[in-house]
Amino acid sequence: MNSDAAGFSRKSLLPGSESITTAYEFSKTPAADERLNTAIERTRDFLLQRQHAEGYWVAELEGDTILESEYILLLAFVGQGQTPRAKEAAAYMLAQQCDHGGWAQFPNGPIEISGSVKAYLALKIIGHDLQSPEMVRAKEAILNAGGVEKVNSFTRYYLAMLGLIAYDLCPAVPPEFMLLPSWAPFNIYEMSAWSRTIIVPLSLLWAYRPVTKLSPEHGIEELYATPAKQLPRQIHGVNHEGELQGFIDWTKFFQRVDVAIKWGEGAGIKPLRGRAVKLAEKWILERLDGSDGLGAIFPPIIWTIIGLKCLGYADDNSVIVQQFAELEKLVIREHERVRLQPCLSPVWDTTIALIALRDAGVSQDNPAIRRGVDWLLSKECRRKGDWANYRPETEPGGWYFEFNNEFYPDVDDTAMALIALSKCLPDGFDYPGAIEWKIGDTGSPQATIVGKAANALAAMSGFERAEPIVAAMRRGVGWLKAMQSRDGGWGAFDADNTREVFTKVPFADHNAMIDPSTADITARVLESLAYCGIQPHGPWLDRAMNFVWNDQQPDFAWFGRWGVNYLYGTWQVIQGFTKFGVSADDPRLQRGADWIISKQQAMGGWGETPASYDDPSLRGQGEPTASQTAWALLGLIAAGRADQPATRRGVEFLLSTQRPDGGWDEPQFTGTGFPRVFYLRYHYYRIYFPLMALARYRDAIGAI
């Protein structure tokens, strides 16, 4: 498990050594091509040189311009809409305007109407010239796309809080849902974790309906495409997550509920409002403890500030001050412009960096690896969060995505952390051989040191260091196993978060109301369990594997929920299943590998556009990128195809496009937030995934 990659030998980097590159000597074997070795060295050093002193890695996490526009709208709400900071954010946003005149969810994407309306409004607020070519083009693009009438529910709330529409044109989000117990079918814990962190503070806006009136010249009447200049009362947003079958039209049902709520409130029927508001406030404040803002992500932080101000929190209140400070951590200022990140990704970046560096042969005794492991261990989640509502007996464990987000560890980060830690155990510590796993009837795992190995372990020089790693891994495995859903798969934050009826509520048009199991996460969980020595047997495993097999598409690819898109899903299933013991010769996996090869482009690389979420016929098609090429290569290598021409051509693509500093150019968005709604550019995806692919390729061809 901890042996060096084939094709070179390693010298340990001594503490205090100032040279990293001199710590390696590459063998001059046919398998260790000089260009390949040089490329690996460059990228390895790129990462090692960018590790923070505390031990972590973190790169920019880039989203689209709704981050800047919503930030400006928040500043306008608190009376700072024309400050230098607002104008700096507007300058960045203006630079992202697309050729079609509007703003898109990803580079070269089609106009996104809600983001474009918010961008136009934000530019008006900061005083941008309405007669400028940029504003004229934006107005025309918005009108051609259907006008402000087409904006989504959350955009309506921004318009309402700035006095541009009435709150009754927003979908009702009454705080009374806080009173529903966890066994009730429509309680907040049946929503996805990221949705509930938005909906709870948003309910305070609905309850208090705050308004900061803009100057008349900041109105957006010119953006209405219809003569009535009025938003439709019912929102016909896109509910993407599945079609409900049955006798009830749930969309119409919830529209009628929305009308009934508004009628009742208009009649003054709100007997439990005060109690519900207090519960919402308490819920929010509890989850600020140990977190970089509510959910540690941009939208809930914005709504928390506004929601708490509804309750009378002053600008100098410590909670409000801290939430603005959390927003400030997301700000990047460059060239008189300001852009924001949706959140920070240190745990995710650190785990994958550690995996890639170990694949590249960096010793687990290297100080950089040791610092990374120690930092990662410090971020283990040791308190119960929202997930415990349905898994109350489970011991806390696992990892979250950000620096601090203790209420919301997630399955994907936990799986990746377990892989990283298993690769960083001390030399000679045979984890599967030293730990005995017992999976009970409930699927709950227990790990104990095998008796006959205990004395040998105690004598190992690395045992003292291995102990805390193994303890964290035990807790992580236990938490992961407990988060398996009834369908056999794993979602991101919660188990059995699959109540599709929630996708039909009027404010569900952000395509994220539920957190169902997905093949990519499920396969990564199995991969991580294999690294921890879990043996491939048991009913829980059969359910997991059947879930993934059943999700294979007719063309033999797998959908990727958390990366763009079918290239991501197909790679992860092949890699996860083969690591867990499924033969690489399994026809289903081989057909998946055939699909990957069929999508290789003429120059040797692979790419896929986020538009494949809207149009599945585009799956596997798009500008080639370093990260997606790496995913394709990793899938082919796992499928036993390292020596095939397609793999060699893919490696050549990476070698020929690598920059002198060891990185690759990749302006494309290859990460997924919410399919069809929000995409991401992880700035280290172009670094550690290619490093991982090149290192594993070298290892594989050295073994042939």
pLDDT at residue 695 is higher than 70 = yes
Amino acid at 338: V
Cβ-based neighbour number of residue 605 at 10 Å: 23
pLDDT score at 8: 24
pLDDT at residue 304 is higher than 80 = yes
Q: Mean pLDDT across the stretch 579-592?
A: 96
The rounded distance, in Å, linking the Cα atoms of 74 and 305 is 9
pLDDT score at 462: 56
Query: Beta partners for 435?
Result: 449
Of 384-393, 492-501, 691-700, which range is least confident? 492-501
Question: Which of 410, 412, 413, 515 does the annotation list as catalytic?
Answer: 412
pLDDT at residue 543 is higher than 90 = yes
Greater confidence (564 vs 5) lies with: 564
Active site residue 412: yes
pLDDT at residue 451 is higher than 50 = no
The backbone region for 147, taken as left when phi is positive above 0, alpha when psi lies in -120 to 50, beta otherwise, is: left
Nearest to 291 by CA among 442, 460, 404: 404
Which single residue is written with the structure tokens 């311009």? 65
513 confidence band (pLDDT: 50, 70, 90)? confident
449 confidence band (pLDDT: 50, 70, 90)? very low
549-582 pLDDT tens trace: 999 999 999 999 999 999 999 999 999 999 999 9
Give CB contacts under 8 A, 24+ apart, made by 601-605: 603/653, 604/629, 604/649, 604/650, 604/652, 604/653, 605/629, 605/650, 605/653, 605/654, 605/657
pLDDT at residue 16 is higher than 80 = no
Cβ-based neighbour number of residue 209 at 10 Å: 14
High-pLDDT (> 70) share of the chain, %: 88
High-pLDDT (> 90) share of the chain, %: 76
Greater confidence (96 vs 703) lies with: 96
pLDDT score at 12: 26
pLDDT score at 236: 55
Greater confidence (345 vs 248) lies with: 345
Q: What is the DSSP string of 628-677?
A: HHHHHHHHHHHTT-TTSHHHHHHHHHHHHH--TTS-----S--EEEETTT
The rounded distance, in Å, linking the Cα atoms of 393 and 700 is 43
* Summary mean pLDDT of the chain: 88
Of 310-324, 416-430, 630-644, which range is least confident? 416-430
238-281 pLDDT tens trace: 444 444 445 677 778 778 887 888 888 888 898 999 999 999 99
Q: What is the dihedral of CA 185, 189, 192, 197, to 10 degrees?
A: 130
- Helical segments of 162-295, H only: 193-208, 250-266, 273-288
pTM (two decimals): 0.90
The tokens describing 530, both together, are 């294999």
72-100 pLDDT tens trace: 999 999 999 999 999 999 999 999 999 99
- Helical segments of 149-220, H only: 153-161, 193-208
612-659 pLDDT tens trace: 999 999 999 999 999 999 999 999 999 999 999 999 999 999 999 999
pLDDT score at 28: 36
Which domains, and CATH codes, for the chain?
Answer: 8-61+344-483+518-702 (1.50.10.20), 64-226+248-340 (1.50.10.20)
Amino acid at 625: T
